[in-house]
Structure 1
Amino acid sequence: MGSIPEKTLLDNSIAAQTNDAQRAAHLANNIGTLGTSFLLDDEEGRLALLKQARSLLQALETPRETMIKHCWAQPAVTFVIATGIESGLFQYLAQNPGPKTVDHLGKALRFDIDVLSRTLRHLCSMGYLKEVGPDEYDGTNFTKSLSLPIIAGGYPCLVESCWPTFSNFPLYLKKHDWSISPDPREGPMQDVIGKDINFFKHMMTNHPAGEFQNHMAGYRQGRPSWMDDGFFPVSERLVKGADSSSEAAFLVDIGGSIGHDLDEFCRKHPTAPGRHVLQDLEYVLFQVQKVDPKIEPMSYDFHTEQPVKGARAYYMHSVLHDWTDDICRSILSRVTAAMKPGYSKLLINENVIPSTGADWQGTALDMMMMTLFSSRERTEEQWRKLLEPAGLKVAKIWSAGEGVESLIEYQPARAQLSHATMFTPIRVAACHVSPIFLSARRTTEKAISLIDQASRNKANLVVFPETYIPAFPIWSSLRAPFENHDLFKSMVQESVHIDGEEVDALRSTAKKLNVLLSVGISEKARYSSATLFNTNVIIGTDGEILVHHRKLMPTFFEKLTWAPGDGYGLRVAETRFGKIGNLICGENTNPLARYALMAQGEQIHISTWPAIWPTRVPKSKETSSRVGSSVAKGANYDNVAANRTRAAAHCFEAKSFGVLCSGVLGEDAIESVSSGASQEDVVSQALRDSPRGATMFLDSTGALLPGFTIEEGTLRETPSEFLQHEEGILYADLDVGDCVEGKQYHDVVGGYQRLDVFDLKVDRRRREPALFRGDNLIQKG
């Protein structure tokens, strides 16, 4: 590696001397004392004796012996065990107890006798097998346990999926000036497997990694649980004072995997009241098998708004150690927003690393988190620094000894601000612009330049039109489908993945400039080479995707390009400026979709539109709103009137501000769409004559809210009601406090609603074509 010195100040003979002879004598004496008082059922005594024995071994070894152990013996025994698991060796030994010769095992397993003999000899020399005679061995408790998935699972998972990252770690640190990148997309694991793949994606798509759930179950096996008597007083701290009604949420397990913890809680505390909610991604919940009937599985992504409000306790086990501090704060903001001050608690079940005398299990896990997640196990001070800025204070840290995960009990430090009032005024920048037609990379670059410009002009939220990246498929409105194959192919090639480099660049820009973004994209599905969605993403100031909405139903000719979406994105983004929602184009005609956003307290409604939306080859340049019936007069759809009418209705009903953002049809789009058409002149003329959409703002009564443009260089503000024919950025300063007054008259989701008469249910599950079960691995389709 180029860093081993040729000359040293020490004599080589030190490598053959005992590591710590003086300490070894002291430890041997301690072991003698501990050994005489050790009882088989004394777990505390066993752990103390084990710690002393491990220290004695390290003190007695010479540096040369320790080096050989690290470089030869330990790596060799790990891959030998992984080989034994893969070949079925340990399953066979468990099913056929008693001494076995190598010859017998080789024939039973169809394993080369010589190779098997040498691997078993090393296992025995390391103390994991009992040697009965020449080439004859018997199992131990450890080798018997290797037939259990919870013990065996870790070996193929780590050897085949994680070891490449471990071996590359020194080179990664050297390349990054002996530090870890603060961007988790540029961490040690990404240096090996690729920037766009995180640990969990890797786990889902690699067979050995499917044993990860088993490995985690093995890690927790036999360890003290906070639900046990003498650890955390459940009755006193949770049950006492809890709402006892069956409708009330008692315990919400966030990121609870397949329900091990919640099932254990139901078993140990069967009289606890209320609902017990298990939250995780749908593909994880698909693996849930037999759990307590009280448990309510709920598909949920903890990067989005917490749907269960005011629970007695929100619980997270080994969740936050997977994420960097910035992402943790984003996750925690969803929890704190849902907590009821003076009632709700947050329970975090994680390691708390002591400042001195740390246990090896905690420090080893910290190394795993650093290399695989660019994250960490945290000290008490780090836990406080992470949680207290999120409005939480530590009530108490409960622990049961060294090397055992603690339970950190938090409660809101102060009453949370009302979601309907006391928000910060917001400057919105609506970008009335054209893409670089069918070029995702260049359009993204243009978007980033516009975001930078808007940020310099003090914008807090920057909005882009419908499918700004890479284009709107306007060709489908004016050309026959059989003429559009090449254009569709280009659209597929230039559409972007939600976790691709274009969206990553937008997220990085949002974080760098501390702005919110709303961007329309044509999204390409991972499970198909040509399935596209009309998508809008709202990105937070921390770079996290707050809302990922796919248009529920493509409109008219759009069905030739995009597939229908699902209800997953019918959400609002909770920000310090207010609750922000979005619907795409014709969805703003759908009263149920609009109501779903109103029912979440939406205060700023973004509606995005294409530059033009022709319904016919126009016989007149007049729009339908001026000449009457478009059918009778041959006029085209009036985008300005139609879009404003729909958005104004929503603003009036929701008592929300409206941001209408339309695109601009560039000359490059007109030329590309016209070229090759059977009636090229007709298509070109129709594109030029079709009415243009406009970008504007509406107030909470639906009335036009004049905005302004800002001249680059002079920063001069010019009032403007809307932008239509020329590119530009329209600004408006909004204060969602102005949305309150109208709620007195018509709060259609509150005081002016009959919830006993009407019942709207919204399915927000992300739809995938298939969920695959097998080999302990669940994959998305």
Structure 2
Amino acid sequence: MTNMIRAAAAQLSPDLVNPGGTVTKVLGAIAEAGEKGVDLIVFPETFVPWYPYFSFIYPPVSTGKDHVRLYDNAVVVPGPVTDAVGAAARSHGIVVVLGVNERDHGSLYNTQIIFDADGTLKLARRKITPTFHERMIWGQGDGSGLKVVDTRVGRVGALACWEHYNPLARYALMAQHEEIHVAQFPGSLVGPIFAEQIEVTIRHHALESGCFVVNATGWLTPQQKTAIAADPKLHKAISGGSFTAIISPEGSHVVPPLTEGEGLLIAELDMGLITKRKRMMDSVGHYARPELLRLLLDDRPAPAMQVLPFGSTQDELASRAGREAEHRTVDQRVAVERSPAD
């Protein structure tokens, strides 16, 4: 890993009419970033095919048609969309983080996908708790997605939107020593107060984790707001709230944020600043007190069906699961020492 990383956060509008058009915009932004020497590019929350803005302004009883359309155009992981984005990442040598509506048979999920610069799909994680109106749209993820992955630009972790208000979820990534944290928000939602909250949230995480934060939010044009809601009185609810930014481990903006319109926000990340910050305060190292406070994470996948080993009883399985959970600490530093007699 080099000491300087060139990162980009994309603030873009989805194609609300043609879902293939949104994918085309993603591939175009990756190509543009490649021409500009970018090493990492981040896209907004559930950007493909689009964030379900309709669910925020209309009651569930009237959103059936839009919800079904989202199903019809959602992304299968892996599938044609991930193949295309992975190929673009490989072609341009860029680490790509993309937010998608993932379809898994009869359910949708808010999913963050990390592709390494060679096109490898390193992680596809699902938002663990959809917020408020989102619970009518997406299912819940599990602890298996709370992972930091090694990439060409360093150790990358990701959370979506208000997952950042779950301090234990953030700590799970901090304890895995993330160097670049990827944040994704929908943008064009709630108004200026949402943008202000985003800034507070990502700057605090950068300081607490001692890492860089690359945050991407979406953007809606006036025409798109009208297409979503014909009543202008509803446009306030789907306006503002865009705050695409890149934050240093010292909690400061590396470059001024992007709050209006479309564009690529690009910044040079001096990875040496991570050590500079952690020398003073390492929340999961010399500043931690694990004998007083520590996190227990169950990072096992939680499938709807589990096939029991032949001959196993429920009590045996429950006992084994309890022992595994007790000894699984998030930073994976538990070691079993054997004596010579063993």
Q: TM-score, normalised by structure 1?
A: 0.38
Partner of 2:289, secondary structure, is: coil
Structure 2 counterpart of 1:547: 123
1:563 to 100, 115, 139: 139
Write the mapping of 1:185-264 to structure 2, written as runs, cut at 5 A. Answer: none
Deviations 1:465-524 (A, max 9, x none): 000101111111111111111110111111111111011110111112211000000111
Deviation for aligned residue 1:735 = 2.1
Partner of 1:546, secondary structure, is: strand
Deviations 1:687-715 (A, max 9, x none): 56x32311111111111221xxxxxxxxx
Structure 2 counterpart of 1:514: 93
Distance 1:455 1:423 in 2: 17
Structure 2 letter corresponding to 1:595? Y
Write the mapping of 1:81-160 to structure 2, written as runs, cut at 5 A. Answer: none
8 Å contact kept, 1:425–1:577:
no
Distance 1:566 1:667 in 2: 37
Q: Is the aligned partner of 1:644 residue 2:195?
A: no
Structure 2 counterpart of 1:471: 50
Structure 2 counterpart of 1:702: 251
Name the CA shift for 1:563/1:551 in 2 (closer, same or farther; >3 Å): same
Name the CA shift for 1:594/1:638 in 2 (closer, same or farther; >3 Å): same
Structure 2 counterpart of 1:447: 26
8 Å contact kept, 1:692–1:725:
no
Partner of 2:280, secondary structure, is: coil
Structure 1 letter corresponding to 2:91? K
Deviation for aligned residue 1:582 = 0.9
2:79 to 497, 500, 506: 500
Deviation for aligned residue 1:668 = 5.3
2:236 to 654, 674, 686: 686
Partner of 1:748, secondary structure, is: coil
Distance 1:648 1:488 in 2: 34
Deviation for aligned residue 1:438 = 5.8
Structure 1 letter corresponding to 2:197? A
Distance 1:671 1:490 in 2: 18
Distance 1:697 1:654 in 2: 15
Distance 1:439 1:597 in 2: 35
Distance 2:301 2:99 in 1: 19
Deviations 1:413-442 (A, max 9, x none): xxxxxxxxx644111111110111164322
Q: Is the aligned partner of 1:752 residue 2:290?
A: no
Q: TM-score, normalised by structure 2?
A: 0.86
8 Å contact kept, 1:431–1:465:
yes
Distance 2:65 2:200 in 1: 36
Deviation for aligned residue 1:613 = 2.6
Deviations 1:353-410 (A, max 9, x none): xxxxxxxxxxxxxxxxxxxxxxxxxxxxxxxxxxxxxxxxxxxxxxxxxxxxxxxxxx
Name the CA shift for 1:441/1:537 in 2 (closer, same or farther; >3 Å): same
Higher relative contact order structure (alpha carbons within 8 Å, sequence separation ≥ 6): 2
Deviation for aligned residue 1:571 = 1.2
Distance 1:750 1:490 in 2: 47
Structure 1 letter corresponding to 2:85? L
Q: Is the aligned partner of 1:427 residue 2:44?
A: no
Structure 2 counterpart of 1:27: none
8 Å contact kept, 1:435–1:666:
no
Deviation for aligned residue 1:774 = 10
The structure that has the greater radius of gyration is 1
Distance 1:535 1:578 in 2: 21
Name the CA shift for 1:425/1:561 in 2 (closer, same or farther; >3 Å): same
Q: Is the aligned partner of 1:581 residue 2:141?
A: no
Q: Is the aligned partner of 1:593 residue 2:169?
A: yes
2:228 to 653, 658, 673: 673
Deviation for aligned residue 1:558 = 0.9
8 Å contact kept, 2:148–2:155:
yes
8 Å contact kept, 2:40–2:153:
no
Structure 2 counterpart of 1:117: none
8 Å contact kept, 1:550–1:565:
yes
Identity of aligned residues (%): 31
Distance 2:298 2:138 in 1: 21
Distance 2:301 2:264 in 1: 34
Distance 2:283 2:8 in 1: 29
Distance 1:546 1:439 in 2: 28
8 Å contact kept, 1:423–1:737:
no
Structure 2 counterpart of 1:768: 303
Deviation for aligned residue 1:672 = 3.2
Name the CA shift for 1:726/1:637 in 2 (closer, same or farther; >3 Å): closer
Distance 2:17 2:92 in 1: 27
Structure 2 counterpart of 1:267: none
Alpha-carbon RMSD across the aligned residues, in angstroms, is 1.9
Distance 1:692 1:639 in 2: 5
Partner of 1:487, secondary structure, is: helix
Deviation for aligned residue 1:546 = 1.2
Deviations 1:634-675 (A, max 9, x none): xx5612210010111111011111111110113453233215
Structure 2 letter corresponding to 1:506? V
Structure 1 letter corresponding to 2:220? L
Structure 2 letter corresponding to 1:461? L
Structure 1 letter corresponding to 2:109? F
Structure 2 letter corresponding to 1:487? D
Name the CA shift for 1:774/1:650 in 2 (closer, same or farther; >3 Å): closer
Deviation for aligned residue 1:682 = 2.6
Name the CA shift for 1:596/1:469 in 2 (closer, same or farther; >3 Å): same
8 Å contact kept, 1:569–1:764:
yes
Distance 1:512 1:644 in 2: 33
Distance 1:570 1:506 in 2: 22
Distance 1:586 1:774 in 2: 38
Distance 2:289 2:71 in 1: 45
Partner of 2:65, secondary structure, is: helix
Structure 1 counterpart of 2:326: none
Distance 2:192 2:264 in 1: 25
Structure 2 counterpart of 1:456: 35
Structure 2 letter corresponding to 1:736? M
Please list every run of 5 or more consecutive structure 1 residues that lacks an aligned counterpart in the other structure.
1-421, 615-635, 707-720, 776-781
Structure 1 counterpart of 2:322: none
8 Å contact kept, 1:441–1:502:
no
Distance 1:671 1:637 in 2: 19
Deviation for aligned residue 1:597 = 0.7
Deviation for aligned residue 1:533 = 0.6
- Normalized per residue, the structure richer in helix is 1
Distance 1:489 1:668 in 2: 23
Structure 1 counterpart of 2:333: none
